[in-house]
Structure 1
Amino acid sequence: MTPAARVQAAIEILDEILAGAPAERTLTRWARRSRYAGSKDRAALRDLVFDALRCRRSLAALGGAETGRGLMLGACRRDGVDPDTIFQNARYAPAPLTSAERAAGRQPETAAERLDIPDWLWPRLVASLHDRAAPVAQALRSRAPVHLRVNVARCGRDAAMAVLAEDGVHCIPHPASSAALEVVRGSRRVSSSRAYRDGLVELQDAGSQAIAEALPLRDGMRVLDYCAGGGGKTLAMAARARLDLFAHDAAPSRMKNLPQRAERAGVSVKIVDAAEARRHRYDLVLCDVPCTGSGAWRRAPEGKWRLGPDRLQTLLRTQAGILDETAVLVAPDGTLAYATCSVLQEENHAQIAAFRQREPGWTLRGEYHWLPDAGTDGFYLALLTRQPDGP
């Protein structure tokens, strides 16, 4: 595909996404019906689409319209590319620019527009992050790095790096976690590498790994990952101690690949429904709750634009409900761990403060933050224990 043909395909895909279609599904459908596109074309197209979604407001301003054409025209103007080399009278290329399109477009005006944050959300971001709001928002406009977690139960970090390098995947250690690697070259070869196939490494953001490393784990503990999702933190915990480990999710389909991943990693995980989960008391319960995902918007940028005040309030109620549900599952000397991939104070410290108002028998033993401008996705972790005279 020519560069112009890739842009035309991106325009069509973006128009579907802007109309409400999920980004990943739309890209997958396009690939299935476009068998002529090679792997390099698909990767380049994905980069165009996700860059446009990350920078949707600023590109719409530059391009004069919040449409697929407007975003791609805005990207040309931002990057110093002559639009006439892309929007041309050629086969598979976008149609030439109209006089109205040539006249449209302006520089982004407000901080929220320049940094690609919805207007309603910008004051909340500033209230949550203060002087780091702008650097975090800027970080969310760029592509996320690729991080790997070394399965420390199987090998050391240096050994994993050596095995990865044999397949052209070159990494450096990441400071967020002792098991974390950042891929600096060959990221698209990870899934076919021997290290990945043999369970020596897993794809996982370094901040997510840091959460597992901050948990007070020790051999013999009974642990419940209550909102397990795909099971990344479940497997990270399993690599750190010999645990009696349980995984639960309100949507069990999210865990469908967890048994296979656990087998590859050489660990045991019991998948349980809500009724089974409530039959036990646990030394540690991890609640990686549903959230805005604001800390990971560079990976899933459409979430930034589909979030609204009503959706945020729904999420806050869900988070509070999960805290209340899981508190009763913690053994008397156990730990309740609350985690989000959000940078918003309402979902993080304020949520824990509200829980402790409802349940005064709990003490906050530790609180951790990881932010995208420091090289990871944005995460929050709070560790709570019952006071000795608590219920």
Structure 2
Amino acid sequence: MTPAARLAAAITVLDDVIAGTPGERALTQWARTHRFAGSGDRAALRDHVYDVLRARRSLAALGGGMTGRALILGLLRRDGPDPDSVFGSGGHAPDALTADERAAEQQSVTGAGAADLPDWLWPLWQEALGEEAMSAAQLQRQRAPVFLRVNLSRGTRDAAQASLLADAVPTAPHPLVDTALRVLDNPRRVAASAAYREGLVEVQDSSSQMAIARLPLLPGQRILDFCAGGGGKALALADRLGGPVWAHDIDPRRMTDIAPRAARAEVQITPLATEALRKAAPFDLILCDAPCSGSGTWRRTPDAKWRLTPERLTELNAIQSEILDRAALLTRAGSVMAYATCSVLTAENEGIVAPFLERHPDWTRIDRMALQPTEHHDGFQMSVMRRT
């Protein structure tokens, strides 16, 4: 596919997204009906679509409308090349620009529009981030860096760098956490690299690695990853602990990848069904990485910020509170529980922890980590509590 044809495809996918189809589903549907497209075409298409979704409101102002065509026009006006080199350039390119499209006034945006956030969400974002609200929101327009976690039980960070470089994946050490590497080029080659195949590295944002590094782990502790999902944090816990870790998720299907990932990393992780939790308890440390809006990671999942609603945020808050209450039942005196989200919103962090501490006076907060999105990490928050 030519560059112009890829942009034409992005217009089609974006129209589906605007009509209500989730971004990943729209991309998958396009790929299934355009099997001639190669992996490079699909990757470029994904990049175009996600670049637009990260900045949908400001690009609509530049392009003159909220259609796939207008959004791609806005993207070209912001980043280049000249729209006339794309629209009407022949082949499978988008049709030439109309007189109305050329004459449409490019609007300025302020407030939520300049932040590329929904109107209802902008006050919550400002409440959480204060003077940094606009800069943090605008950072979310950029593509997120790719970070790797080095399994230190398998090798050193220097060894991981050397192995990755041999497979044309240059990296740099992270300045804030000793397990992390930032991928400088060729991130799509990571999964095929020897370092990844042999369990020396895993893909994991540095914010999660920083959180694991702050947990008060001790040899021989019984540790549970209560909302394990695919097991990324359970793997990191097991590597740091040097011993077995238990993992649970309310939907066991989400834990399907844990066994092969643990085997590759040569760590021991035991999945637990919900009905098996009480028998396996008590635990010395429980990590509750709760389902959330993901507002600290929206440069990775930009579709999510446009699909979030006040009603869904309220539902998430109820789930988050329930998770803490349920996990607390699996502890004993002296146990530690860490509540974490990849959200920066107060309602999902302090708005959950403070009421929990009021309901449970036998729990005391002993540490708190609050990260906003930067070039070094995603947005992430964690409160560590001890049962007295």
Structures share fold, TM-score greater than 0.5: yes
Q: Is the 8 A contact 1:228 1:288 kept in 2?
A: yes
Distance 1:211 1:176 in 2: 11
Secondary structure, aligned partner of 2:35: coil
Q: Is the 8 A contact 1:149 1:203 kept in 2?
A: yes
Deviation readout 1:231-285 (Å, 9 max, x if unpaired): 1000000100133311111121111111000000001111111111122110001
Task: Give 1:135's aligned amino acid.
Answer: S
Query: Could you tell me which residue of structure 1 aligns to residue 312 of structure 2?
Result: 311
Distance 2:46 2:291 in 1: 26
Task: Give 1:298's aligned amino acid.
Answer: R
Query: Could you tell me which residue of structure 2 aligns to residue 372 of structure 1?
Result: 373
Q: Does 1:247 align with 2:247?
A: yes
Q: Is the 8 A contact 2:148 2:201 kept in 1?
A: yes
Q: Is the 8 A contact 2:283 2:331 kept in 1?
A: yes
Query: Could you tell me which residue of structure 2 aligns to residue 55 of structure 1?
Result: 55
Q: Is the 8 A contact 1:335 1:384 kept in 2?
A: yes
User: What is the deviation of 1:350?
Assistant: 2.4
Distance 1:91 1:155 in 2: 51
Secondary structure, aligned partner of 1:330: coil
Distance 2:191 2:375 in 1: 26
Query: Could you tell me which residue of structure 1 aligns to residue 2 of structure 2?
Result: 2
Query: Could you tell me which residue of structure 2 aligns to residue 329 of structure 1?
Result: 330
Distance 2:144 2:10 in 1: 20
Q: Do the aligned partners of residues 172 and 89 (structure 1) sit closer, same or farther apart at CA in structure 2, a change above 3 Å counting?
A: closer
* Pairs within 5 Å for 1:336-347: 336-347=337-348
Query: Could you tell me which residue of structure 1 aligns to residue 349 of structure 2?
Result: 348
Q: Does 1:90 align with 2:54?
A: no
Deviation readout 1:333-381 (Å, 9 max, x if unpaired): 1101100000111111221111111112211100001221252111101
User: What is the deviation of 1:143?
Assistant: 0.3
Q: Is the 8 A contact 2:149 2:181 kept in 1?
A: yes
Distance 1:89 1:181 in 2: 41
Q: Does 1:122 align with 2:122?
A: yes
**Structure 1 segments (4+ residues) deviating >3 Å:** none
Q: Is the 8 A contact 1:52 1:72 kept in 2?
A: yes
The answer for unaligned runs of 5 or more in structure 1 is none
User: What is the deviation of 1:80?
Assistant: 4.2
Q: Is the 8 A contact 1:245 1:269 kept in 2?
A: yes
Task: Give 1:176's aligned amino acid.
Answer: L
Q: Is the 8 A contact 1:227 1:247 kept in 2?
A: yes
CA-atom RMSD, angstroms? 1.3
Distance 2:199 2:12 in 1: 38
Secondary structure, aligned partner of 1:220: coil
Identity of aligned residues (%): 51
Distance 2:187 2:303 in 1: 23
* Pairs within 5 Å for 1:1-391: 1-88=1-88, 90-279=90-279, 280-387=281-388
User: What is the deviation of 1:182?
Assistant: 0.1
Task: Give 2:114's aligned amino acid.
Answer: R
Deviation readout 1:170-229 (Å, 9 max, x if unpaired): 111112321000001221210000000000000000101111111111221111111001
Deviation readout 1:66-120 (Å, 9 max, x if unpaired): 1111110111111243222211062211112222222224233212111211111
Q: Is the 8 A contact 2:332 2:387 kept in 1?
A: no
Distance 2:278 2:60 in 1: 49
User: What is the deviation of 1:133?
Assistant: 0.9
Distance 1:210 1:80 in 2: 37
Secondary structure, aligned partner of 2:333: strand
Secondary structure, aligned partner of 2:374: helix
User: What is the deviation of 1:130?
Assistant: 0.6
Task: Give 1:348's aligned amino acid.
Answer: N
Task: Give 2:282's aligned amino acid.
Answer: R
Tell me the TM-score normalized by structure 1.
0.96
Distance 2:325 2:136 in 1: 31
Secondary structure, aligned partner of 1:185: coil
Task: Give 1:383's aligned amino acid.
Answer: V
Distance 1:160 1:191 in 2: 14
Q: Do the aligned partners of residues 339 and 184 (structure 1) sit closer, same or farther apart at CA in structure 2, a change above 3 Å counting?
A: same
Residues 88-97 or 61-70, more deviating: 88-97
Tell me the TM-score normalized by structure 2.
0.97
